[in-house]
Amino acid sequence: MPERIVLAEYKSDRIPGLSPEIARTFEATGAVKVSRDLDGVIRLAASSTVGLVRAGDVELVLTPKVGVARLLWLIGHAQNQSGWRDDDVDLEETDDLVAGLAVAFAHRAGRALAPGVLRGYQTVEETSPMLRGRLREADQLRTRLGRVYPLEVRYDDYTADIPENHLLLAATRRLLRLPGVPAATRIELHRLNRGLADVTQRPPGTRLPMPAVSRLNRRYQPALRLAQIVLANHGIDMPAAPNAPGGPTVAATGFLFDMNKVYEDWLTATVRIALEPYGGVVEGQRVIHLDESGRLAPRPDITWWRDGRCLAVLDAKYKSPKGHDFPADDLYQLIAYCTALDLPEGHLIYAGGVPTSYGIRGSGPRIRCHVLDLRRPVTTLLVKLSEIAESVAAFQAGNPRNTPSENKGR
């Protein structure tokens, strides 16, 4: 049983007895920062990265402030807002992201496969000693040079080798490789793996798109949405580095998310949907130019455009300032964006704090600081974000009483 260290997001703790090699490995993965106290004891400091990393015989669990279920909802909702449901992740209270994700996936996938493995027709092209389906005449003439056998054929096969099962199998096998999966859940994952024995495993790195929802695959949808999260590129598989410049490290494996990125991705996707009725295009991380020569080219988190003109700029800040004391650097950054884009107003959207605004002297823009409480019920959270989007659109339209239908198509 590996030693387990549990550290909350943005917290630090002294870890007596932790070896320097293990500590350096944790730092090399980007999970934590490492320092030493005056008495020589190693201290690990977490930031916005959450998840689990195993190095040697030590597991480091980094817990999110919003809870595992809400974190997985943010990720899933950003990927598929029309299809993701609040009850897709039905977890008891847990601080362990990998364990929570594995339990939720095994439960949903088990329910999906309980009536049997879904099958469908797939077009197969192959070389065959007998005619099956239709002959590919052009390929036959090109490859066989007039010979009758073997035959180049095309036919529809009723098979388990369909995209839905490819996703479930890939997610199952990835979870089986991760540390921190509870023993009972690991047994269930092995059962799922055996149940998908007729499915061909795709080569590592193959992009597996989410299949469109249909009457036939509806029972698979909750498991498929969780499979997308499992297969997101957040895995760690780091070999040992005995000759690393800062000192030797050991092999590490794990699964990590940066909450800054999770929050930004979710906010971008949700704002895009909220502003859709007002026309224009919402873009994430679009390059703008602050100077005339184009050498200063930052990427604001979210910008709203119509006919080549920027209508609004919004920055996602996964922070919770105390009271009205918002970080000055955040304000300066947004002032620069507004100045370069010739906008009279800019928006900062924080994950905590008290809403406020700043009127900049002279001809400067007004900076509005909005606040979202990520712990609130999903419906409340989405309503609040819709209100923010409506205020952004109303200001741009110059009429606070405008409704989405009045702005559509402008």
> What does the domain layout of the chain look like in residue ranges?
1-63+233-257, 65-119+160-232, 120-159, 279-407
Q: What percent of the chain is modeled with pLDDT above 70?
A: 88
What is 279-407's CATH topology?
Trna Endonuclease; Chain: A, domain 1 (3.40.1350)
**Using one digit for the tens of pLDDT, what is the confidence trace for 36-78?**
999 999 999 999 999 999 999 999 999 999 988 889 889 888 8
Are 108 and 88 spatial neighbours (Cβ–Cβ below 8 Å)? yes
CA neighbor of 227 nearest in space, from 159, 164, 160: 164
Tokens of 406: 């009045």
Tokens of 192: 């799922």
Mean pLDDT across the chain, nearest whole number? 87
Whole-number Å distance between alpha carbons of 28 and 14 = 18
Q: What pLDDT shows up at residue 317?
A: 95
pTM: 0.82
Are 10 and 46 spatial neighbours (Cβ–Cβ below 8 Å)? yes
pLDDT exceeds cutoff 90 at 372: yes
**Using one digit for the tens of pLDDT, what is the confidence trace for 249-304?**
999 999 899 999 999 999 999 999 999 999 999 999 999 999 888 899 999 999 99
The identity of residue 293, as a single letter, is S
Q: What pLDDT shows up at residue 140?
A: 62
**Using one digit for the tens of pLDDT, what is the confidence trace for 174-200?**
999 998 899 999 999 999 999 999 998
**Using one digit for the tens of pLDDT, what is the confidence trace for 310-335?**
999 999 999 988 867 788 999 999 99
Whole-number Å distance between alpha carbons of 231 and 252 = 18
Q: What pLDDT shows up at residue 137?
A: 63
Give the sign of the dihedral formed by CA 43, CA 49, CA 55, CA 60.
Answer: positive
pLDDT exceeds cutoff 60 at 407: no
Whole-number Å distance between alpha carbons of 233 and 205 = 10
